[in-house]
Structure 1
């Protein structure tokens, strides 16, 4: 069991929805602000304090933040 973006524990269906499927080898992409009904999908509204259209890219933005921080630290250690 894992934690959903809204802080509630749940299965895969508790996660927000994107068209990306890791097993298909597709890329990370923005989440849908209106996921299909009937499957229990949630949106990312409130993720990292973002709402509206900004919530759709909340995890992409955070991934970029941490990737940039990691690369800066890695470069500093090489010096």
Structure 2
């Protein structure tokens, strides 16, 4: 992946004992998807240090799936979608 790559989004699938993540990038007009398998109890480092805009999707995945993504550039601590105390 070269300098022309652009982060698009992350797809997360709950596979019982692990998560399956797809990182989608635009590379010169074509979509490149990178797949990662993450054990449920494991931590995953954020890519927001390299692709800053990933912090939004990473917060969403962290909140909705409970996946421990560490070192997110802006970490909403599980409150991206709902403010604390709201259900």
* TM-score, structure 1 normalization: 0.30
The structure with more strand, counted as a fraction of residues: 2
The structure with more helix, counted as a fraction of residues: 1
Higher gyration radius (CA): 1
